[in-house]
Structure 1
Amino acid sequence: MIKITSIIIAEDDADDRLLIEDALNENAISSDDLVFVEDGEELLDKLKDNVNAPSMVFLDLNMPKKDGRQALKEIKEDDRFKHIPVIVFSTSNSADDIITSYKNGVNTYFTKPSKYSDLLEIIKSVKSYWWEKARLA
């Protein structure tokens, strides 16, 4: 089981939050401090209030209040947070969203799959790269 400082998951859909949490657990990623937020404003508030930066942020683009596009831009423009890996996990497969996300500093972009088995594979690849190869956390 891999221990992580914390992962912030910015996702407004309760079902998607549960699926992501289950997929993390099934891939043996345990977090002492798994934090869910429902919009970009709450995400930025959580980052500012957190004494220790999270190991990673999973970010949905389409959220109420401040969307993920704006939150990503603000995270990557802030010296306190720009080092945090951000993985966009969105229903959008728009080329504009993908290109803009990379221009704004996203580390990885995934379109949400329709099958849970595909979600497990995505989390497995995130784990393989970020925690086993890149030595995150």
Structure 2
Amino acid sequence: MSRVLNILLIEDDAIEVMKFNRVLKSLGLNHKVIEAGNGEEALQILKERNIIPDIILLDLNMPKINGIEFLGILKSDEVLRYIPSIILSTSNNHKDVLECYRIGIAGYLIKPLKYEDYTERIRKLLEYWSTNELTSQ
């Protein structure tokens, strides 16, 4: 059975944030999205611990604290390290992909150029994680 997810979306590009929210709406999904414009902002949200997200979707190329630096900090926290973190990036740099998996990500998705392809990838991603057994329940 699918359930509503608390999603922490870490993305510095406002257009990408709008696109993600538009996809959720077009798919009729009511997941709760918490937005952070960079890794530093995301760490502040997580530090407050008002809401522990079920999954984290993040871009790699961000100002202040990039995605890889953010993951390193996240995975060193005894509570937060178990939150599934999925990279949602335009970068297909093999070195970045390997480094992210070494740190402990749950997945790596390349943002496709076509909106329809992006919608389908997000649909599949959220369908999986809304039926998966998560640790933050």
Same fold, judged at TM 0.5 (above): yes
Note if 1:28 corresponds to 2:4: no
Question: 8 Å contact 1:76–1:82 — kept in the other structure?
Answer: yes
Tell me, which stretches of 5 or more residues in structure 2 are unaligned? none
Tell me the C-alpha RMSD between the 2 structures: 1.6
Q: 1:47-91: CA deviations, max 9, x gaps?
A: 111233111111000000011110011111211201111110011
Distance in structure 1 (CA, Å) of the matches to 2:109 and 2:123: 13
Measured in 1, the distance between the counterparts of 2:56 and 2:117 equals 20
1:63 aligns to what? 62
1:123 Cα deviation after fit = 1.0
In 2, the alpha carbon distance for the partners of 1:34 and 1:91 equals 21
Tell me how far apart the structure 1 counterparts of residues 129 and 85 of structure 2 sit (CA, whole Å).
11
User: Corresponding residue for 2:90?
Assistant: 91
Aligned position for 1:124: 123
Taking the aligned partners of 1:97 and 1:24, their CA distance within structure 2 comes to 27
Q: Is the 8 A contact 1:61 1:88 kept in 2?
A: yes
Counterpart amino acid of residue 28 in structure 1: G
Is the Cα–Cα contact under 8 Å of residues 37 and 43 in structure 1 kept in the other structure? Answer: yes
Asked if 1 retains the 8 angstrom alpha-carbon contact of 2:84 and 2:105, the reply is yes
Aligned-partner residue type, residue 3 of structure 1: V
Q: Would the aligned equivalents of 2:8 and 2:34 in 1 still touch at CA under 8 Å?
A: yes
Structure 1, gaps ≥5 residues long: none
C-alpha contact (below 8 Å) 1:2/1:30 kept by paired residues: no
1:2–1:28: 8 Å Cα contact kept in structure 2? Answer: no
Where does residue 43 of structure 1 map in the other structure?
42
TM-score, normalization by structure 2: 0.90
SS across alignment from 1:78:
coil
Q: Give me the whole-angstrom Cα distance separating, in 1, the residues matched to 2:14 and 2:99.
A: 26
Secondary structure of the residue that 1:24 maps to in structure 2? helix
Q: Which residue of 1 aligns with 2:4?
A: 3
